[in-house]
Amino acid sequence: MLRFPEHQVAGHKAIEGKLGPLIDDYGNFYKPLQSKGRGSNEVACYKFFNSDPRVPNNISQRYIPNFHGTKVLNASDGSGLHPHLVLEDVVSCYSNPSVIDVKIGSRTWYPESSDAYVSKCLKKDRESSSITLGFRISGLKFVSCSLKENDSLSWQPDKEFLQNLSAEDVKLVLSKFVSCNFSSNDDAVSLRPDRAFVNEVFGGSNGILEQLLELKQWFEVQTIYHFYSSSVLMVCDRESVMNGKSSGGVVKLIDFAHVVDAKGSIDHNFLGGLCSLIKFISDILDSPLDYENNCIFNGNGTEDEQ
Amino acid sequence: MLRFPEHQVAGHKAIEGKLGPLIDDYGNFYKPLQSKGRGSNEVACYKFFNSDPRVPNNISQRYIPNFHGTKVLNASDGSGLHPHLVLEDVVSCYSNPSVIDVKIGSRTWYPESSDAYVSKCLKKDRESSSITLGFRISGLKFVSCSLKENDSLSWQPDKEFLQNLSAEDVKLVLSKFVSCNFSSNDDAVSLRPDRAFVNEVFGGSNGILEQLLELKQWFEVQTIYHFYSSSVLMVCDRESVMNGKSSGGVVKLIDFAHVVDAKGSIDHNFLGGLCSLIKFISDILDSPLDYENNCIFNGNGTEDEQ
């Protein structure tokens, strides 16, 4: 039985009769191939990551979702049969994952884009934080810690909230990603993040910061592909972290419909944005008691653990 | 006595009755303040670099030209008195410097730019290598080694040549910067670079690569300024290197008319472009015998020294 992915936070969604991805009970994520060659481009990318020796194992195995070919399925919009990529559902192993999708790069159009496509992308890049910060948060869903049975309290702000976040806003959102102190949407917006899991999720040798730094190291030298409009997906499961069942956070590189040949240079656009994201996360780790920035422990005792 | 700077390779030039910089015999470079607040913006930047403790000494002292205030002088265009920045003439200590000006960043407009300014810059960025490579070579002048008295053989290609260089072109130009085997403009274009000084100029603990890496380290963390349309100027003097009088190449960060407040994030645009330049220089150092890329020693015996 195929169903809508409840933890999908960005991209085309299979709701209200639209074409979007589906999941099954076996950890597969079925993503419809996009039109105008973008779908086949994404398939080619996944194949490349799966097989080309120029992609180091530490990158392809850890940061690229597993790819299991393509499959023709009944589309979610009821339009009939449609080819889908069969990918690993990267959140399937978590019961209550918190997810944040960060579209990397200040520019989402590529050198060969038509003027019309440039205008369309440029408008979005300027209206969001892409131009200012080098990335934009495309979507997020954070699940509260105080989770009772069948009581899924989560924070999933709408597009308007995420539109054009300032540096301070991003710091706050990323701090909330590693915090525990909310139990409703209102709390999530207003409460100062407690950063209860900052060290477990962002820090440590297996934490998100180290993973982003490993990706960065590759982007400093790889001259194979330029990744336009791709995202870094960050996932953590507060329950698992609390219970010691999870070692922290997970980073995946996703969305390859607009990946193009590098033509001999590094992907300076992606790398710059990635470094910007790294600086935010690194700052949050380095300054746990930042009153000014509204990022403060709320006296629940976790300060001592810093 | 003020005169035109003969080693200036980019920017507004004081030739044919235009407004441009002048130099004197005491190592000063007089740069006319630009209109529309850009001149005063540049003055403010130099003052900041000279005095603010947030700029590390290794950056301000090594990579920013010395600033000696402003001075009102007769403008080079004959328009009368005009305020000038008084800067260190960074090539004054060399007799025959080779100079290359690299405008860093794939984007030369800043977030608050007007639509008209965005269009104007975007056009230039797309028509040059800025969009593809993350930087563009704004100008260069390479002086040949086989230099006889009063016989200044140099290569200074026009704007058309430098327009929209590919990755391979840039590799070739940067290789020629550290080469010796030309004695005329024609030679400079056609000869395969011998890379005679690649290790002395690009390599080593004082070489250009290490200097760019030091700059990069600062750009990974600094959230003070974003540098739009600024350049990295690289200088070497083949004669001095040959005679052992110079330890290699020099890197300077110049042109601050379009530097703006960072507003809490790193300068991902500059950093990305800088990393791209670093990759090119690092590749040239790592692969001295690259037949395919037309970058090959031409059998003059220097191969053995690699």
Per-residue pLDDT of chain A (306 residues; tens, 9 = 90+): 899 988 888 888 877 788 999 999 999 999 999 999 999 999 999 999 988 999 999 999 999 999 999 999 999 999 999 999 999 999 998 888 999 999 999 999 999 999 999 999 999 999 999 999 999 999 999 988 765 555 568 899 988 999 989 999 999 999 999 998 877 777 778 888 999 899 999 999 999 999 999 999 999 999 999 999 999 999 998 888 888 777 789 999 999 999 999 999 999 999 999 999 999 999 999 985 554 344 333 333 333 333
Separation of alpha carbons B87 and B19, rounded Å: 17
For residues A222 and A78, membership in a common domain is answered with no
Q: What is the pLDDT of residue B148?
A: 57
Supply A39's token pair.
């779908």
For residues B113 and B64, membership in a common domain is answered with no
| Domain stops at, among B55, B88, B121 | B88
Q: Which residues pair with B142 in a beta bridge?
A: B155
**Distance in Å, alpha carbon of A274 to nearest chain B alpha carbon:** 8
Region B237-259 average pLDDT: 88
Task: Say whether residue A280 is in contact with chain B using an 8 A CB cutoff.
Answer: yes
Helix (H, G, I), strand (E, B) or coil at B92: coil
Q: Answer whether residue B40 is part of any domain.
A: yes
| Domain stops at, among A88, A117, A144 | A88
C-beta neighbour count of A302 within 10 angstroms:
18
Query: In this predicted complex, what is the ipTM?
Result: 0.92
**Distance in Å, alpha carbon of B305 to nearest chain A alpha carbon:** 26
Region B237-248 average pLDDT: 80
Q: Which residues of A touch B134 (CB under 8 A)?
A: 265-266, 268-269
For residues A224 and A284, membership in a common domain is answered with yes
Query: Is the Cβ–Cβ distance between B57 and B7 less than 8 Å?
Result: no
Q: Which residues pair with A139 in a beta bridge?
A: A101
Q: What is the pLDDT of residue B278?
A: 98
Task: Say whether residue A159 is in contact with chain B using an 8 A CB cutoff.
Answer: no
Chain B residue with minimum CA distance to A108: B131
Q: Which candidate, B58, B27, B98, B102, places its Cα nearest to that of B246?
A: B98
For residues B142 and B275, membership in a common domain is answered with yes
A85-89, B46-50, B299-303: the lowest-pLDDT one: B299-303
Q: Answer whether residue A6 is part of any domain.
A: no
Q: Answer whether residue B52 is part of any domain.
A: yes
For residues B297 and B206, membership in a common domain is answered with yes
For residues A232 and A287, membership in a common domain is answered with yes
Separation of alpha carbons B147 and B80, rounded Å: 39
Supply A63's token pair.
């940061």
Q: Which residues of A touch B132 (CB under 8 A)?
A: 111, 263, 265
Task: Say whether residue B305 is in contact with chain A using an 8 A CB cutoff.
Answer: no
Q: Answer whether residue B1 is part of any domain.
A: no
Chain B residue with minimum CA distance to A105: B268
Task: Decide if A265 and B167 are in contact by the 8 Å CB cutoff.
Answer: yes
Separation of alpha carbons B88 and A172, rounded Å: 43
Environment class of residue A195 by beta-carbon count within 10 Å: exposed (0-12), middle (13-18) or buried (19+)?
buried
Q: Which residues of A touch B268 (CB under 8 A)?
A: 106, 133-134, 272-273, 275-276
What angle (nearest 5°) sits at the alpha carbon of residue B245, between those of residues B239 and B249?
Answer: 70
Q: What is the pLDDT of residue A29?
A: 97
Supply B238's token pair.
């083949």
Q: What is the 3-state secondary structure (H, E, C) of chain A?
A: CCECCCCCCCCCCCCCCCCCCEECCCCEEEEECCCCCHHHHHHHHHHHHHHCCCCCHHHHHHHCCCEEEEEEEECCCCCCEEEEEEEECCCCCCCCCEEEEEEECCCCCCCCCCHHHHHHHHHHHHHCCHHHHCEEEEEEEEECCCCECCECCEECCCHHHHCCCCHHHHHHHHHHHCCCCCCCHHHHHHCCCCCCCHHHHHCCCCCHHHHHHHHHHHHCCCCCEEECCCEEEEEECHHHHHCCCCCCEEEEEECCCCEEECCCCCCHHHHHHHHHHHHHHHHHHHCCCECCCCECCCCCCHHHHC
Domains of chain B: total: 2
For residues A59 and A112, membership in a common domain is answered with no
Region B298-302 average pLDDT: 35
Task: Say whether residue B111 is in contact with chain A using an 8 A CB cutoff.
Answer: yes
Q: Answer whether residue B286 is part of any domain.
A: yes
Supply B158's token pair.
């026009």
Chain B residue with minimum CA distance to A274: B268
Q: What is the pLDDT of residue B281?
A: 98
For residues B159 and B186, membership in a common domain is answered with yes
Q: What are the C-alpha distances in Å from A120 to residues A33, A107, A111, A127, B172?
A: 22, 11, 14, 11, 36
| Domain stops at, among A58, A88, A118 | A88
**Distance in Å, alpha carbon of A266 to nearest chain B alpha carbon:** 6
Q: Which candidate, B251, B234, B270, places its Cα nearest to that of B108?
A: B270
For residues B102 and B82, membership in a common domain is answered with no
Nearest by CB to B265, from A132, A221, A266: name it: A132
Concatenated DSSP letters of B270-305: HHHHHHHHHHHHHHHHH-S-BTTTTB---SSSGGGG
Task: Decide if B275 and A273 are in contact by the 8 Å CB cutoff.
Answer: no
Strand order from edge to edge, sheet including B81-88: B22-23, B28-32, B81-88, B67-74
User: Does residue A295 or residue B237 have the better pLDDT?
Assistant: B237
Region B120-131 average pLDDT: 97
Band of residue B226 on the pLDDT scale cut at 50, 70, 90: very high
Helix (H, G, I), strand (E, B) or coil at B225: strand
- Residue B303 pLDDT more than 70? no
Task: Decide if A266 and B273 are in contact by the 8 Å CB cutoff.
Answer: no
Q: What is the pLDDT of residue A8?
A: 87
Percent of chain B past pLDDT 90, that is, above it, reads: 71
For residues B173 and B286, membership in a common domain is answered with yes
Q: Which residues pair with B259 in a beta bridge?
A: B227
For residues B122 and B263, membership in a common domain is answered with yes
Q: Answer whether residue A69 is part of any domain.
A: yes
Task: Decide if A275 and B264 are in contact by the 8 Å CB cutoff.
Answer: no
User: Does residue B140 or residue A190 have the better pLDDT?
Assistant: B140
Residue B173: CB partners within 8 Å, gap ≥ 6? B100, B137, B140, B165
Locate the DSSP E strands across chain B. 22-23, 28-32, 67-74, 81-88, 98-104, 135-143, 154-155, 225-227, 231-236, 249-254, 259-261
Q: What is the pLDDT of residue A287?
A: 81
Nearest by CB to A266, from B223, B264, B275: name it: B275
Task: Say whether residue B128 is in contact with chain A using an 8 A CB cutoff.
Answer: no
Q: Which residues of B touch A131 (CB under 8 A)?
A: 107, 111
Supply B301's token pair.
């015996």
For residue A200, give the CATH number of its domain: 3.30.470.160
**Distance in Å, alpha carbon of B28 to nearest chain A alpha carbon:** 35
Query: Which secondary-structure segment (H or E) carries B130?
Result: helix B130-133
State how far Cα B49 lies from the chain centre.
19
Q: Which candidate, B271, B280, B275, places its Cα nearest to that of B107?
A: B271
A214-223, B44-53, B71-80, B180-189: the lowest-pLDDT one: B180-189
Separation of alpha carbons A168 and A294, rounded Å: 9
For residues B67 and B135, membership in a common domain is answered with no
In terms of residue numbers, what domain contains A39?
22-88
Q: Answer whether residue A10 is part of any domain.
A: no
Task: Say whether residue A132 is in contact with chain B using an 8 A CB cutoff.
Answer: yes
Helix (H, G, I), strand (E, B) or coil at B231: strand
Q: What is the pLDDT of residue B114?
A: 95
- Residue B152 pLDDT more than 70? no
Q: Which residues of A touch B279 (CB under 8 A)?
A: 220-221, 223, 265-266
Q: Answer whether residue B13 is part of any domain.
A: no
**Distance in Å, alpha carbon of B240 to nearest chain A alpha carbon:** 32
- Residue B43 pLDDT more than 50? yes
